[in-house]
């Protein structure tokens, strides 16, 4: 019989400059020397925020009065599953003190990748750099200039992460549209991901979003080995590509730092197997679809919120709910365990 999951709460505390607080595990404890978000185990019948508030009082001497869920992720720890509940603490008082001998330090969110952390903390670090909305473009159509203008308007809203989805274009036309989009993204400080164009994404220095078929090929070592995967798959301690290195027990850096390409890596998922594959190859986030009926895939049977929630409860990375959803669905999606909502039509400017 499987042992109950180990439930743990972690807190995101920010200073006036937006930096987040990390605690370094002291000598003599497991994973000593690694940095983590402060928090601890839930007691029986204790909810996540109550446990977090208790742990922050005991570890740091502060009073946490209010917060909101950021992310819940599950991780395999030998024969037991750890479920980590990350909360943003919005209202707290007191000055954090190292009451348990731990070292404390404030870090900018873009510097978190450079701090050695236990693997369960990596998705939290990624989530702190991701917005709750993941916009996906429609096909460019016959007027690439009109498409570029609308994309520019979308990117102009700060903090965007946008997937350029242009499956109808040949390689030459796609490269032209992608190059123009990459320049626009850099101009606006946004993050761009290309759909299924691994070579081009690596060359342009942008992210990559894998369709589910490509995800399965990469996770299973199938398909064309010259499809660009060498730049995107994580490498083991010997420097060679190693699918599964993203989840190595002794790894203390996110897969993003153990692959050649540096942009976001994401994947389209439809079931539990694909969500596990996405985590295994080192994806930073994923989409789960279709949650509801969608115009782009009218023949697809939607998962529905109950099934989607069950899949999200065991995900090991941030997941955007996708399919027939928009900004108004964000609270429900997050209540079901999604990090955010992804959409095409709902986020594409008129």
State the SS3 of 33-80. CCEECCEEECCCCCCHHHHHHHHHHHHHCCEEEEEEEEEEEEEEECCE
Instruction: Locate the domains of the chain by residue range.
Output: 6-127, 133-343
DSSP for 233-280, please give it: S-B-TTSSB-TTGGG-TT--S-GGGGSS--S-EEEEE-SHHHHHHHHH
pLDDT at 70: 96
Q: Model-level pTM?
A: 0.94
pLDDT at 350: 83
pLDDT at 266: 98
**Inter-residue contact 25 to 31 (CB < 8 Å):** yes
* Beta-carbon contacts of residue 12 (< 8 Å; ≥ 6 apart): 20, 37, 70, 86, 87, 88, 89, 124, 128
SS3 call for 12: strand
Token match 């978190």: residue?
112
Distances from the Cα of 113 to the Cα of 28, 72, 106, 307, angstroms: 24, 19, 14, 33
Q: Which CATH architecture has domain 6-127?
A: Alpha-Beta Complex (3.90)
Q: Which helix (H) or strand (E) holds 213?
A: helix 212-220
Task: Give the chain's radius of gyration (CA, Å).
Answer: 20
* Beta-carbon contacts of residue 295 (< 8 Å; ≥ 6 apart): 324, 345
The list of the chain residues with pLDDT below 50 reads: none
pLDDT at 109: 96
**Inter-residue contact 56 to 11 (CB < 8 Å):** yes
Token match 């839930």: residue?
42
Query: pLDDT tens digit string along 196-209?
Result: 999 999 999 999 99
pLDDT at 251: 62
pLDDT at 291: 96
* 305: preceding bond cis by omega (within 30 degrees): no
Q: Which CATH architecture has domain 133-343?
A: Alpha-Beta Barrel (3.20)
**Inter-residue contact 130 to 340 (CB < 8 Å):** yes
- Give the end-to-end CA distance of the chain in Å, rounded to a whole number: 54
Q: Report the alpha-carbon distance of residue 205 to residue 231 in Å, rounded.
A: 11
pLDDT at 331: 96
Main-chain dihedrals φ then ψ at residue 108, nearest 5 degrees: -65, 150
Q: Report the alpha-carbon distance of residue 248 to residue 245 in Å, rounded.
A: 5
pLDDT at 253: 73
Query: pLDDT tens digit string along 318-338?
Result: 999 999 999 999 999 999 999
Return the exposure string of 232-251: e unless at least 16 CB atoms fall within 10 Å of the residue's CB, then b.
Answer: bbbbeeeeebbbebbbeeeb
Cα dihedral: 232, 339, 130, 288 (round 10): 40
């Amino acid at each position: 019989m499987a042992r109950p999951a180990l439930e743990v709460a972690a807190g995101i505390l920010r200073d006036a400059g937006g930096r987040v607080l990390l605690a370094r595990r002291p000598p003599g404890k497991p994973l000593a020397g690694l940095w983590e978000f402060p928090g601890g185990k839930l007691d029986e019948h204790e909810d996540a925020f109550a446990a977090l508030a208790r742990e922050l009082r005991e570890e740091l001497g502060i009073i946490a009065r209010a917060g909101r869920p950021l992310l819940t992720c599950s991780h395999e720890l030998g024969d037991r599953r750890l479920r980590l509940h990350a909360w943003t603490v919005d209202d707290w008082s007191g000055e954090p003190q190292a009451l348990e001998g731990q070292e404390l330090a404030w870090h900018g969110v873009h510097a978190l990748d450079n701090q050695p952390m236990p693997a369960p903390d990596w998705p939290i670090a990624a989530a702190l750099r991701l917005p709750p909305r993941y916009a996906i473009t429609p096909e460019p159509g016959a007027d690439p200039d009109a498409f570029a203008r609308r994309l520019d308007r979308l990117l102009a809203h700060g903090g965007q992460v946008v997937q350029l989805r242009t499956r109808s274009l040949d390689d030459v036309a796609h490269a032209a549209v992608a190059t123009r989009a990459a320049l626009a993204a850099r101009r606006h400080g946004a993050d761009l991901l290309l759909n299924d164009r691994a070579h081009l994404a690596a060359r342009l220095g942008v992210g990559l979003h894998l369709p589910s078929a490509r995800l399965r090929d990469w996770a299973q070592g199938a398909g064309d080995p010259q499809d660009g995967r060498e730049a995107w798959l994580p490498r083991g301690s010997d420097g060679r590509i190693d699918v599964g290195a993203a989840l190595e027990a002794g790894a203390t850096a996110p897969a993003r730092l153990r692959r050649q390409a540096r942009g976001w890596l994401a994947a389209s998922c439809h079931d539990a197997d694909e969500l596990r594959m996405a985590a295994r190859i080192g994806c930073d986030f994923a989409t789960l679809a279709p949650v509801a009926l969608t115009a782009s895939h009218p023949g697809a049977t939607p998962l529905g919120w109950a099934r989607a929630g069950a899949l999200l409860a065991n995900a090991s990375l941030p997941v955007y709910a996708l399919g027939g959803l928009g900004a108004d669905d964000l609270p429900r999606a997050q209540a079901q365990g999604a990090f955010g909502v992804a959409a095409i039509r709902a986020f594409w400017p008129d």
